[in-house]
Amino acid sequence: MSPFEHGEVFVLDDGGEGDLDLGNYERFLDVNLTRDHNITTGKVYQSVIEKERRGDYLGKTVQVVPHVTDAIQDWIERVGAISVDGTGRRPEVCIIELGGTVGDIESAPFVEALRQFQFRVGPENMCVIHVSLVPVLGSVGEQKTKPTQHTVQTLRSLGMYPTMLACRSENMLESSVREKLALFCHVPTNQILSIHDVSNIWRVPLLLRDQGAHHVIMSTLKLAPRQPLDMRRWEARADRWDALEEEVHIAVCGKYTGLSDSYLSVIKALQHAAIATNRRLVIDWVDTSELEQPFSDVNPQQHAAVWGLVKAADGILVPGGFGGRGTEGKILVCEYARTHKKPYFGVCLGMQVAVIEFARNVCGLAQAHSQEIDKATPHPAVVFMPEGSRTHLGGTMRLGARRTLLTTVDSITAKLYQAMDSFDERHRHRYEVNPDMVPMFEEKGLRFVGKDETGVRMEVIELTGHPYYVACQFHPEFKSRPGKPSPLFLGLLLAASGQLNQYVHGYVEESRSRGGSGADVAPAGAPGSPMVSK
């Protein structure tokens, strides 16, 4: 999927690839979804065709109704029973997002399937929440209800009757607008939610709570509360984010900077780490193609301005990516961070360019490169992975959760993960560090502190003598959660804000005081513990 069209590709534990919505669900609900939780038209049609080829339909004519719509309903029921919270228990409520716009030809089979689904499960087991935009005309300043009226009318004509309306708007819905929507959409005013802009995303659940959304949903589904709703942690997180004052600047140096959704999980992981370190996050976006020499010849002022962002930043992050565009700029960023002792964190390609830069400028291999970009390089610092595919792009990479074994506990990575031996993270890549060159790199001071279970694939690097020069082959941003920041992102923010030594020292001292080995105590600032500073 093109990052410019879809935003980031979110990877699940089982290797499933989906769009960024799955990441939002995982972060907000703190669950781990599967590839089957992402239901697409292609998957449904493929399953129907496979059934027909097996003879499941006994030679009958295969049609959208009932065969495709039945397949959708069966899929929902099957996936809705999968445990996603690690307890093994079957979920009690399943959230189904039917994307797109009401009336679109693409969503027609899904709308019909859900219409039928109401009768399969019974009206007391289904609550329909229709999300709609309430725009404001700039010249008039009036909140317009016509778009919502028309979409609800279309939805009702298709047999779907919304229980609630979730109305997106810039400002809170006016009472007269609620009454008008209630009159024309046949929805009670107390079941019309104002989803207006708020200061940060963590206030959205509070917004829904304050309007009693949970009461309506539970009443519709005939559910009784087991305990009072406690959202104090959400309130504290939202208030803390708004109150942060001391800034920390992180230069995110990538190639898809024209659309921030391309790095949505990276942004969220940085935010989780920033709030844990009590810093107001400022992301300075850097298009690495503008750091390269050819660009400076064309636009020297912009070239100097972009380099100014890199040099002024408190920390540097190079995220993942594919292809050659902007790669040389990323290599230049690595060189600057390494030689100027600037806190650096590389993810996936960010690790590979760090290794290439080290091979060129420390090991003296001037033509070192990645086989992905230069297949004829005499010094392939990054090579193609055996299980990958050179001819098929979709779903053929090293995907999903894989185990990383620590080669030493005497590393920043071990202290950040609070681990003695291993941890699991999600991967998405085709190329890896050349294992044949690893001994040379380590002799020169580039430590490979994490490897896969075979000991051949390199997972984490650290640079000897550098305050924080860490990179990993996996994508830790996919498992970061509010209140539980990703350890390596936390390390970058700690280093960028001058708190890493305090964190590491507190970790070692506390574990020693308890007779531990340095991996069994969460110091201040660790995920799930008090903040680093106030």
Instruction: For 329-348, write each residue's pLDDT tens digit.
Output: 999 999 999 999 999 999 99
Tell me, what's the pLDDT at 534?
31
DSSP annotation of 218 reads H
Instruction: Convert the pLDDT of each residue in 30-65 to its tens digit.
Output: 999 999 999 999 999 999 999 999 999 998 999 999
* Banded model confidence at residue 531, pLDDT cuts 50, 70, 90: very low
Q: Which of 15, 88, 231, 32 shows the shortest CA–CA distance to 23?
A: 32
pLDDT (average), residues 128-136: 95
Q: Which structure tokens are listed for 357?
A: 């830069």
> CA-to-CA distance for 164 and 187, rounded, in angstroms?
7
Q: How far is CA 173 from CA 53, 164, 179, 192, in A?
A: 52, 15, 10, 9
Q: Residues with Cβ < 8 Å from 55, sequence gap 6 or more?
A: none
Q: How far is CA 195 from CA 20, 65, 171, 199, 363, in A?
A: 20, 35, 8, 12, 56
Instruction: Convert the pLDDT of each residue in 135-149 to its tens digit.
Output: 998 777 899 999 999
pLDDT (average), residues 352-362: 96
Tell me, what's the pLDDT at 257?
81
Helical (H) or strand (E) element with 192: strand 192-196
What backbone torsions phi and psi does residue 279 show, to the nearest 5 degrees?
-130, 145
Tell me, what's the pLDDT at 507?
59
Higher-confidence residue of 100 and 471: namely 471
Q: Inform me whether the pLDDT recorded for 156 exceeds 60.
A: yes
Q: Is 5 helix (H, G, I), strand (E, B) or coil?
A: helix
* Banded model confidence at residue 532, pLDDT cuts 50, 70, 90: very low
* Banded model confidence at residue 260, pLDDT cuts 50, 70, 90: confident
* Banded model confidence at residue 505, pLDDT cuts 50, 70, 90: confident
pLDDT (average), residues 269-292: 95
Tell me, what's the pLDDT at 387?
65
Tell me, what's the pLDDT at 394?
59
DSSP calls for 106-144? TTHHHHHHHHHHHHHH-GGG---EEEEE--B-TTT-PBP
Higher-confidence residue of 26 and 389: namely 26
> Cα 26 to chain center, whole Å?
9
Q: Inform me whether the pLDDT recorded for 451 exceeds 50.
A: yes
Tell me, what's the pLDDT at 388?
56
Q: What is the mean pLDDT of the chain?
A: 90
Instruction: Convert the pLDDT of each residue in 293-317 to its tens digit.
Output: 888 788 889 999 999 999 999 999 9
Catalytic positions: 348, 475, 477
* Banded model confidence at residue 510, pLDDT cuts 50, 70, 90: low
Q: Is 22 helix (H, G, I), strand (E, B) or coil?
A: helix
Tell me, what's the pLDDT at 392?
55
Using omega within 30 degrees of 0 as the cis cutoff, is the peptide bond preceding 300 cis?
Answer: no
* Banded model confidence at residue 321, pLDDT cuts 50, 70, 90: confident
Higher-confidence residue of 197 and 519: namely 197
State the pTM of this model.
0.90
* Banded model confidence at residue 509, pLDDT cuts 50, 70, 90: low
* Banded model confidence at residue 404, pLDDT cuts 50, 70, 90: very high
